[in-house]
Structure 1
Amino acid sequence: MGQEYRRTTTTVSLINYHFIFCPRYRRKVLSGQVEVRFKELVQELCTQNDWHIAVIEVMPDHVHLFLNVLPTDSPADIMGKLKGATSRDLRQEFIHLNHLPSLWTRSYFVSTAGNVSSETIKRYVEEQKTRG
């Protein structure tokens, strides 16, 4: 998939964010059905907010998410919505996650595709699962 330009009534944009975020205490809780459901929830949120997922990779203890978004969406707002909704829903559906005071840490990493190509970031994210 090449670059995806977004068009609103007055703006054409290419804003891609690479997010990395972790469960609280870097616990390895994102596997099996939790991983499957997390990906479904992220897809639903992205559709509702008009964010396009270029790549998502979920490891047991962290998530890589590469999104194409509109210029009206800040990284802080995106993370707030994603972490808030997924934490609430996953903790309701998977009772074993309630032992954590919250599902996600308050921190996250975000970068734009300014210094490297989107293809490089996508390849990096996709290769995360194959690393030993």
Structure 2
Amino acid sequence: MAVTRKVRRYCGGVYDLGLHVVWCPKYRRPVLGGPVAVRLRELIEQKAAEKGWEITALEVMPDQVHLFVKHEPSSSASYVAHQLKGFTSRVLREEFPHLKSRMPTLWSSSFFVASIGAVSADTIEKYVNTQWERPWAKKQKEEAERAPRV
């Protein structure tokens, strides 16, 4: 079976770079529900478009964000994560004051980034898109949907 790749070109060559990025709110608090989740998704898409990155999969859960993004060779994995976390934190804390009062910072200082290579892009995309199907996640989702919107 032949594997087809969607490659991008730039003046110095051809590339196909993808990252699986995961980050969490400070103290892993489940604050990413309702309008905050909707706005976070918009902001991530906005920043990715600004940088020329392609979002393949994005899942915002109450206490974590999973993203599969394709980027150019000049951006390191940590640069991608820091750009997304910094931008979204600043804007969300301005627009949702309760995020300022409950936590000293919106995001935990750590994050997980894996380059796509050992597993296929389809596998990572499926993993990100099926986060809510895991038993513990279903319970979290139900609790988040029952929680009052702020």
* Normalised-by-shorter TM-score class: over 0.9
Question: How far apart are residue 89 of structure 1 and its match?
Answer: 0.3
Matching of residue 105 in structure 1 with residue 117 in structure 2 = no
For 1:1-132, list aligned pairs within 5 A: 3-98=5-100, 99-132=102-135
Rounded to whole Å, the distance in 2 between the matches of 1:4 and 1:68 is 10
- The aligned amino acid for 2:99 is L
Secondary structure of 1:115 counterpart:
coil
Q: Structure 2 stretches of 5 or more lacking a match?
A: 136-150
Q: Provide the TM-score with structure 2 as the length reference.
A: 0.84
Question: How far apart are residue 112 of structure 1 and its match?
Answer: 1.1
What is the aligned-residue identity percentage?
Answer: 44
CA deviations over 1:40-82 (Å, ceiling 9, x no partner):
0001000000110000001100010000000000111111111
Q: Provide the TM-score with structure 1 as the length reference.
A: 0.96
Rounded to whole Å, the distance in 2 between the matches of 1:19 and 1:106 is 14
Q: Structure 1 stretches of 5 or more lacking a match?
A: none
Secondary structure of 1:101 counterpart:
coil
Secondary structure of 1:63 counterpart:
strand
> What's the RMSD between the two structures over aligned residues?
1.0
